Amino acid sequence: MTANDEAKESIIQAAIGLIEVSDGNIRNITARSIADKSGVSLGLINYHFGSKDNLIAICCSRIINKTLMSMSPENIDYTKDDGLTDKERLTFFAQQTFEFIYKNCSTVKISVLADLQDYSPNCNSALTQKGFLMALRGDMPESQKKHIAFSLASIMQAAFLAGDNAKEITGYDLKTAKQRAKFITDTVNMLFEGVYEK
């Protein structure tokens, strides 16, 4: 690792540390506090990342990616029958993901908005869709699986971004875990209706 790479990683780790103790108030994290914590000059933050906002977006993406990988269905032994239908399995994974989103609102919002500006196959939104795809083990065509996974992730993001207006927009009070679970169950049921025949 070069000195530049080490400085860059030090900045990222310092920013992640500050984000994790920010209680969601990322506006109070300054470039100066990141520089002080990382032991680098303030100019290196702009040199490596262009802006504090870009650095924060990269860090949020890294935090979420790490968490998504730990929640990922990749950890499931696919050689064993879990007794669930694709619909039940997808509902379970989506409910876990939706709870994570609402427990990490500020970090997730930064990540989702960054993904929407530069959507790529390795962004957190696409990784979430790949996780959902792994829940779909049935024999439906791959194109339908991808359509369901993409649609579900997109619906979840739009509902989340609706914020305080979510109840008016979706009909569900997404401030409560019970309503979030119902929203996911109803959404997965809607996506499967007419698409997947058992």
> What are phi and psi for residue 195, nearest 5 degrees?
-100, -40
Beta-carbon contacts of 41 under 8 Å, excluding residues fewer than 6 positions away, are 35
Report if residue 188 sits inside a domain. Answer: yes
Residues 78 and 34 in one domain: no
DSSP 8-class letter at 25: -
Single pTM value for the model: 0.75
Tens-level pLDDT at each residue, the chain (198 residues) = 788 888 899 999 999 888 878 766 677 889 999 999 999 988 989 899 988 888 888 888 788 777 666 655 555 554 466 788 999 999 999 999 999 889 888 788 888 888 888 888 888 888 889 889 989 998 889 999 999 999 999 999 999 999 999 999 999 999 999 999 999 999 999 999 865 444
Radius of gyration of the chain (CA): 19
Range of the domain at 24: 1-50
Residue 93 and residue 110 in one domain: yes
Torsion-angle region of 24 (φ positive above 0: left; ψ -120 to 50: alpha; else: beta): left
- Indicate whether 63 and 23 sit together in one domain: no
Residues 97 and 153 grouped into a single domain = yes
Inter-axis angle of helices 105-117 and 142-161, nearest 10: 120
